[in-house]
Amino acid sequence: MFSYFDVLSVQILFSSFILMANKRIKSYIKTFRIQSLLIALTAGAMGFSLEKGRIDLLVVCLLIIVLKVILIPNMLEKTYASVEYIVEKDFILNIPILVILSCALVVFSYFSVSTIEGINSGIINAQIVNSMSVILIGLFFMISRKKAIGQIVGFLVVENGLYVTALFSTHGLPFIVDLGVFIDVLTAVVIMGFMVFNISEKFDSIDIEKLNKLRG
């Protein structure tokens, strides 16, 4: 059981590196879809593997597939379709530098987690290090991208990292907590998608640096 979850946690982390190495928004959305599918598999596998099973985790697995693998990526693709003709550089630094800095964040996560008492216990520690690294890489992805949709994807990756960290730490949150998180994420994506439309209509661009024109 533990080795299987270890592999899944590494794959989730690896998907964050792929996301950081991508240059196109369509690739961002596709990579987020794959990462969410891996998290859904983790929740489903945990629901089956725990004693007496966890039906709520199986329901969470289905919710992740519906919301994060199907619904939200489709919403982002439709949002981007209206401004796809605009060609702009999205990243601030070169991709190799961004990937190297992401590796540094993994090292930082390892040393940070290893100092916390109670979770520095072999395999569990590795899973939490990987999931916390996803949070930091998601934050860094938001900082390193200039387009609004890229930053939305970064926000969703941070949420994925937070959820999978809680999942590996507690072996399943209460279902009502999971439901509240999913509702918040869906609401946030709808609001941010509306903002992208407004930015595009106002500036004929989805580069958030254009918002500087609103000053004074």
Q: For 14-19, what is the mean pLDDT?
A: 94
Tell me the per-residue pLDDT of 61-85, one tens digit each, with 9 for 90 and over: 898 898 889 988 888 888 777 665 5
Q: Count up the domains in the chain and report the number.
A: 1
Least confident of 4-18, 82-96, 97-111: 82-96
Q: Which domain holds residue 55?
A: 2-214
| pLDDT number for residue 41 | 92
Tokens of 49: 């593997």
pLDDT band, very low/low/confident/very high, at 211 (cuts 50, 70, 90): low
* Closest-CA residue to 35 (of 59, 7, 8): 8
| pLDDT higher than threshold 70 for residue 90 | no
pLDDT band, very low/low/confident/very high, at 38 (cuts 50, 70, 90): very high
CB 164 within 8 A of CB 132: no
Cα 46 from Cα 44, distance rounded (Å): 5
Tokens of 60: 């969470």
CB 47 within 8 A of CB 56: yes
The answer to whether the pTM exceeds 0.75 is yes
Tell me the per-residue pLDDT of 107-162, one tens digit each, with 9 for 90 and over: 998 888 877 665 555 445 788 889 999 999 999 998 888 777 888 888 889 989 98
Cα 5 from Cα 41, distance rounded (Å): 10
| pLDDT higher than threshold 60 for residue 164 | yes
| pLDDT number for residue 197 | 57
Greatest mean pLDDT among 94-103, 107-116, 185-194 lies in: 94-103
